[in-house]
């Protein structure tokens, strides 16, 4: 199949269904087709992703294409340079389909908090696709792209992957360059792939990972090729009681899927061991302080001066700032900026931001201790199956609690992989989370592949 034919199938799907799903904020058909034809004209494969269609979350820069990060604040903005991950995809021969919808600046778990339009779950249009990379997940699930890039700060790749029946990887912090990626919480943000299979995720991951001189937090740890496996003899899978038996609000059907996943892995030779991650219950609080504190500074540049939206005829400089930001930033973004500003304020910083940083170190220690007993951890991603649009929109705290299982690996900086493990009684997809040791993505992917094929043998 040519790159052009492949792309045209995606574009046809977008034309037919994206009016309803709203996975994309921007599709440049002309540029994408020109790129596909150019690749088809080449006699040799351009690279490992030759002719494959990839959708890019709209907080990742593609030179000359609009980039809004889901915010009306950035309507009309186009970055001058490609993000490093985009440059690597292009060098590997990928065809970029378009920019995908997201919760504004990555702040949300359902993609209902996009500044433009909510995205719907292609598997059930009454339900959310998860978030904040909901547009990326929906695009792949609907066949509008072979794979997609998302970003994950506290679960924003893993949870939408789970909600749309996909695989999705949040790499180790520092593994993938953040250069050209709109920052939400810089110490947590990582770019990663979403795709139908773990093996496809691995192909994209191998292209985008690696040290980048433009990102001082990216690290130079050699990438190991994945050794695909058939059995898991000798592998120790950790099960944290905080993720299963002692987990608050974990849906019965989700729990049943995770238990079946564990049984499947044991059946393939893995040993199951019980571990404890005692600080898990503090993870949500720590995450929402650290992430919002960093966001409060990261989003200060959206002041209406150099780019983005500016209020008309402000009487004073203060009015320019406050009106531009109040008009163009969504309520959830404003809520998080205020929370983060408060957490950093004089007199409160010790009790909030600093304390959250101490909890973060304890959470990282929990994982370090667990690695003495197991190679990977397995648990849930979301405590519940995809919910209906509007169901949780009025209750921010209820929405935050949906991140209970995904934020701890983010705080610890360890890699985590979403793997589809079947459906619930309403035929909604359920995902399991495999959590790995730092920079051990290869192990994570190999185990994830075995797990996915246990449920869907054709997903090789």
Beta carbon of residue 250, minimum distance to another protein (angstroms, whole number): 31
**Exactly one of 71, 110, 132, 218 is catalytic; which is it?**
132
Task: For residue 132, indicate whether it is catalytic.
Answer: yes
Distance of closest approach, residue 302 Cβ to another protein, in angstroms: 8
Q: Which of residues 337-356 bind another protein (CB under 8 A)?
A: 341, 344-346, 349, 353
Q: CB 177 → another protein: shortest distance, Å?
A: 9
Check binding of 67 to another protein (CB under 8 A): yes
Q: Binding another protein by CB under 8 A: which of 50, 81, 229, 241? A: 81
CA angle 157, 205, 51 (to 5 degrees): 105
| Residue whose CB is less far from another protein, 33 or 219 | 219
| Least spacing, CB of residue 400 vs another protein, in Å | 21
Asked if residue 185 binds another protein (CB under 8 A), the reply is yes
- Give 182 or 376: the residue with its C-beta nearer to another protein: 182
Q: Which of 220, 234, 306, 312 binds another protein (CB under 8 A)?
A: 306
Interface residue with another protein among 305, 319, 326, 460 (CB under 8 A) is 305
Per-residue x/- marks for another protein, 205-234, CB under 8 A? --------xxxxx-----------------
Bridge partners, 151 (sequence order): 191
Of residues 6 and 360, the one with the C-beta less far from another protein: 360
Rule CB under 8 A: choose which of 56, 74, 141, 237 binds another protein: 74
Residues 41-60, mask of contacts with another protein (x by CB under 8 A)? ------------------xx
Residue 154 as a binder of another protein (CB under 8 A): the answer is no
Torsion sign across C-alpha atoms 71, 92, 85, 399: positive
The token pair at 287 is 């995450």
User: Is residue 177 annotated as part of the catalytic site, yes or no?
Assistant: no
Q: Decide whether 116 or 228 has the Cβ nearer to another protein.
A: 116
Contact with another protein (CB under 8 A) among 69, 128, 370, 447 = 69
How near is the Cβ of 186 to another protein at its closest, in Å?
Answer: 4
Query: Choosing from 109, 110, 114, 156, which is the catalytic residue?
Result: 156
Return the HEC string of the chain: CCHHHHHHHHHHHHHHHHHHHCCEEEECHHHHHHHHHHHHCCCCCCCCCCCCEEEEECCECCCCCCCCCCCHHHCCCCCCCCCHHHHHHHHCCCEEEEEECCCHHHCCCCCCCCCCCCCCECCECCECCCCCCHHHHHHHHCCCCCEEEEEECCCCCHHHHHHCCCEEEECCCCCECCCCECCCCCCCCEEEEEECCHHHHHHHHHHHECCCCCCCCCCCCCCCCCCCCCCCCCCEEEEEHHHCCCCCCCCHHHHHHHHHHHHHHHHCCCEEEEECCHHHHHHHHHHHHHHHHHHHHHHHHCCCCCCCCCCCCCCCHHHHHHHHHHHHCCHHHHHHHHHHHHHHCCCCCHHHHHHHHHHHHHHHHHHHHHHCCCCEEEEECCCCCCCECCCCCCCHHHHHHCCCCCHHHHHHCCCEEEEEEEECCCCCEEEEEEEECCCCHHHHHHHHHHHHHHHCCCCC
Stretch that binds another protein, among 106-114, 196-204, 296-304, 418-426 (CB under 8 A): 296-304
Query: Binding another protein by CB under 8 A: which of 146, 321, 371, 439?
Result: 321
* Catalytic-residue membership of 179: no
Candidate list 96, 182, 194, 364; residue touching another protein; CB under 8 A: 182
Shortest separation between residue 331's beta carbon and another protein, angstroms: 20
Which lies closer to another protein via its Cβ, residue 58 or residue 449? 58
Provide the sign of the torsion angle of the four alpha carbons 178, 181, 185, 189, taken in this order.
negative
Q: Does 184 bind another protein (CB under 8 A)?
A: no
Q: How far apart are CA 91 and CA 67, in angstroms?
A: 21
Tokens of 360: 């973060």
Binding of another protein by 103 (CB under 8 A): no
Residues that bind another protein (CB under 8 A): 59-61, 67, 69, 74, 77, 79-81, 83, 178-183, 185-187, 213-217, 293-294, 296-297, 299-301, 303, 305-307, 317, 321, 341, 344-346, 349, 353
Active-site residues: which are they? 57, 132, 156
């Amino acid at each position: 199949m040519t790159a052009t034919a492949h792309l045209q199938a995606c574009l046809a799907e977008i034309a037919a269904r994206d009016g309803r799903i709203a996975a994309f904020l921007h599709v440049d058909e002309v540029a994408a087709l020109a790129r596909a034809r150019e690749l088809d004209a080449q006699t040799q494969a351009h690279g490992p992703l030759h002719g494959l269609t990839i959708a890019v979350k709209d907080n990742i820069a593609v030179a000359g294409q609009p980039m809004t990060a889901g915010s009306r604040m950035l309507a009309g903005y186009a970055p001058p340079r490609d993000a490093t991950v985009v440059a690597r995809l292009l060098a590997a021969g990928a065809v970029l389909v378009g920019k995908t919808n997201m919760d504004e600046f990555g702040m949300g778990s359902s993609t209902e908090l996009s500044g433009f339009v909510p995205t719907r779950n292609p598997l059930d249009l009454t339900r959310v696709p998860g978030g904040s990379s909901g547009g990326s997940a929906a695009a792949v699930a609907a066949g509008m792209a072979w794979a997609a890039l998302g970003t994950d700060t506290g679960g924003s790749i893993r949870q939408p992957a789970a909600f749309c029946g996909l695989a999705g990887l949040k790499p180790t912090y520092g593994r993938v360059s953040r250069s050209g990626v709109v920052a939400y919480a810089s110490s947590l943000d990582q770019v990663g792939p979403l795709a139908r299979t773990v093996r496809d995720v691995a192909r994209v991951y191998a292209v985008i990972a690696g040290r980048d001189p433009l990102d001082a937090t990216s690290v130079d740890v050699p990438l190991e090729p994945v050794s695909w496996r058939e059995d898991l003899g000798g592998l120790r899978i950790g099960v944290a009681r905080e993720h299963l038996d002692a987990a608050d609000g974990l849906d019965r059907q989700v729990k049943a899927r995770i238990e079946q996943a564990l049984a499947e892995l044991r059946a393939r030779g893995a040993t199951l061991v019980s571990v404890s991650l005692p600080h898990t219950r503090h993870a949500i609080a720590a995450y929402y302080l650290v992430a919002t504190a960093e966001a409060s500074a990261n989003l200060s540049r959206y002041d209406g001066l150099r780019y983005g939206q500016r209020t008309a005829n402000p009487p004073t400089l203060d009015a320019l700032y406050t009106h531009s930001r109040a008009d163009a930033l969504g309520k959830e973004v404003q809520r998080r900026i205020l929370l983060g500003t408060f957490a950093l304020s004089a007199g409160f910083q010790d009790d909030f931001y600093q304390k959250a940083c101490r909890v973060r170190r304890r959470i990282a220690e929990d994982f370090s201790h667990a690695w003495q007993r197991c190679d990977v951890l397995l648990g849930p991603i979301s405590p519940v199956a995809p919910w209906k649009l509007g169901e949780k929109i009025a209750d921010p705290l209820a929405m935050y609690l949906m991140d209970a299982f995904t934020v701890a690996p983010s705080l610890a900086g360890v890699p985590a992989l979403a793997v589809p493990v079947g459906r619930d009684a309403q035929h909604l997809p359920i995902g399991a989370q495999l959590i790995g040791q730092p920079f051990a993505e290869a192990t994570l992917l190999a185990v994830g592949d075995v797990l996915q094929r246990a449920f869907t043998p054709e997903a090789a």
